Amino acid sequence: MKVFLTGASGFLGAQCLSLLLDGGHDVVVAVRSDAKGRDILALHPKSELKLSSTVISDMTVDGAFDKAIQAEPTLEAVIHTASPFHFQSKDAETEMLNPAIRGTISLLSAVTAYAPNVKRVVITSSVAAAVNIKAPPPVLTPEMWNPITREEASSNPFFAYLASKTFAEKAAWDFVNDKKPNFALSTILPPLILGPVVHHLDNLGSINTSNSAFVDIIEGKWKDSIPPTGSPQWVDVRDAAFAHVQALIVPEAAGKRFLLYAGDFSNAEIARIARDNFSELADKVPTNIESDVTAAEASIDAGLSKDILGVKYRSLNNSVVDSIRSLLGR
């Protein structure tokens, strides 16, 4: 199968790429620059005949993906992971909402117009698109949507991120319902993604947002105190990538939203695992470690991911150890 993949230079996309290549698929990766493309190709020297890149410098412009999709008439599937993920935006519209929404619609439009052989498109969304943070449900289910408004999105960077995932996913489903394209859509909704890094990093300072805790531990920033955990729900990046690839392949995945959920964690647990498994980090976390997470406020129904996609979730210990090992090895 020939797959068009966005976000391959990022944390999740890089894992998707590795799985696709390991599965024998041909992959075209969309990158923002030739340099990004060279970095990706350098990580997969044995796959040069199955891997190519195309430059799309700005996903938000009209027709951004048209030429790239037209150039690949044998495409059969698409995975779209590229979307901003950070909590430092100063302008919600230009930094978060427009890139997420316009990038998604631009890609779907190009696939609809120029890729008649594509039968499945998988888009990375987030549990942020399902949860009502003002009134969190006891159990989050795939039928739920975040009721956030555009006005709320402009109130702070965190809300801007929630809105970007919500509006982009809604736009994708609306597009499919309105245009009735040849392909079926599936969306993957992970919580916080942890796990080992396989993509190119210029330095530890360029680590993805969700893995920044591990860098902070390595650099001794948790030595005196452990920061608050925040939302405790998590999933390993390898399991999230597996879900994306399975959603391309499994017929029953068509037209569904898949919530992912490995369990709950605390920063205290991460610190404890780091201390117990890496002697060089033992003096970089506090001696007395106490969790700030007593009980989960909400759970996530990830049943579809297990029953349809066959996801078997890794343990937190496995994820933390592999994450830190991947960073210490750089």
Residue 180, C-beta contacts closer than 8 angstroms, at least 6 positions apart: none
CATH of the domain at 164: 3.40.50.720
Element (H, E) at 259: strand 257-259
SS percent in the chain: helix, strand, coil, step 5? 45, 15, 40
Q: How many CB atoms lie within 10 A of CB 33?
A: 13
Looking at the 3D structure of the chain, how many domains does it have?
1
Q: Is the residue at 24 inside a domain?
A: yes
Q: Is the residue at 227 inside a domain?
A: no
For residues 255 and 80, give the distance between their C-alpha atoms in angstroms, rounded to a whole number: 15
Q: Give the three-class secondary structure for 72.
A: coil
Output the tens digit of pLDDT for each of the chain's 330 residues: 999 999 999 999 999 999 999 999 999 999 999 999 999 999 999 998 899 999 999 988 889 999 999 999 999 999 999 875 545 556 667 777 888 899 999 999 999 999 999 999 999 999 999 999 888 889 999 999 999 998 898 888 888 889 999 999 999 999 999 999 999 999 999 999 999 998 766 667 667 778 889 999 999 999 999 999 988 999 999 999 999 999 999 999 999 999 999 999 999 999 999 999 999 999 999 888 877 776 556 789 999 999 999 999 999 999 999 999 999 985
Torsion of CA 209, 123, 201, 224, to 10 degrees: 20
Q: Is the residue at 138 inside a domain?
A: yes
pTM of the model: 0.93
Torsion of CA 20, 82, 319, 163, to 10 degrees: -140
DSSP alpha helices (H): ranges in the chain? 11-22, 34-43, 66-70, 92, 98-114, 150-153, 157-179, 212-218, 237-249, 267-277, 303-307, 316-328
Which token pair is 15?
Answer: 């894992």
* Structural domain for 128, as ranges: 2-195+234-261+298-314
